[in-house]
Amino acid sequence: MKRINVITIDGPSASGKGALARGIADSFGFNLLDSGVLYRLFAFLYELSFTSDEIANQIKKHVEFIKSEDKLSIRYKKNDITTELRSEILAKLASEHSSKKEVRNALYDIQRNFYNGEGLVADGRDMGTVVFRDAKLKIFLTASSEERAKRRFLELQNRGQEVNMPALIADIEKRDLNDSSRELSPLLPAEDAHIIDSSEMSLEEVFSFTENLIKKEFI
């Protein structure tokens, strides 16, 4: 199989995929695909009463992804909707929609189109198993549910959002179950993925482990 210049980072919610992907994109000058944002956008646009077919067009025509330093902002029709998209309500709705075939199909081409031949780092649940099966390097990043809930708690608190820890753990476990038990594109490591359990690792440690893998594959 011809391997393409893509690094996939899959794993459960709040495992640190996003921060790792943004760090790699910054350090190595790679483009970035946060595929979870597309599922969140799907839920957001569905709430505005668009159909599955219309949603793909709305995303192509009206959504902008703006990467600055280690942040990714999302605009819809010029309005910044990043905070709304990152809320737990949209995460929950996105997870519900993501088990449907028409939803996954509607987003497939959009995700593939993020690859233009140059380096791309793509994070999600099925980047290495479905969307970029031919990626050069695949990472599966995980951590215990308690550790992930702690990280998400801090992230939401920093953004000034109200959080309740027991509810957060319950939400994360429910989403894990939805994501790993669904029939289509379940959350699973690809056969050729490097599995990293970051429960006892700092982001810096995860980053330097991954950096070594990238240097072996890409440089």
Cα(31)–Cα(25) distance, integer angstroms: 6
| Binding residue for ligand C5P, selected from 91, 106, 135, 214, defined by CB under 6 A | 91
| The amino acid at 202 | S
Closer CB to ligand C5P, 147 or 179, in the complex:
179
Give the nearest residue (CB) to ligand C5P.
36
Residues between 167 and 186 that touch ligand C5P (CB under 6 A)? 175, 179
Closer CB to ligand C5P, 181 or 212, in the complex:
181
| Binding residue for ligand C5P, selected from 5, 8, 58, 98, defined by CB under 6 A | 98
Tell whether residue 13 is a contact of ligand C5P (CB under 6 A): yes
Cite the DSSP H helix spans in 66-164: 82-85, 88-97, 101-112, 145-158
| The amino acid at 131 | V
| The amino acid at 83 | T
Q: Which tokens hold the place of 130?
A: 């479905």
12: DSSP letter: S
Least Cβ distance, residue 39 to ligand C5P (angstroms): 3
Closer CB to ligand C5P, 18 or 212, in the complex:
18
Residue listed under structure tokens 């702690």: 150
Least Cβ distance, residue 219 to ligand C5P (angstroms): 27
Closer CB to ligand C5P, 119 or 124, in the complex:
124
Cα(203)–Cα(50) distance, integer angstroms: 38
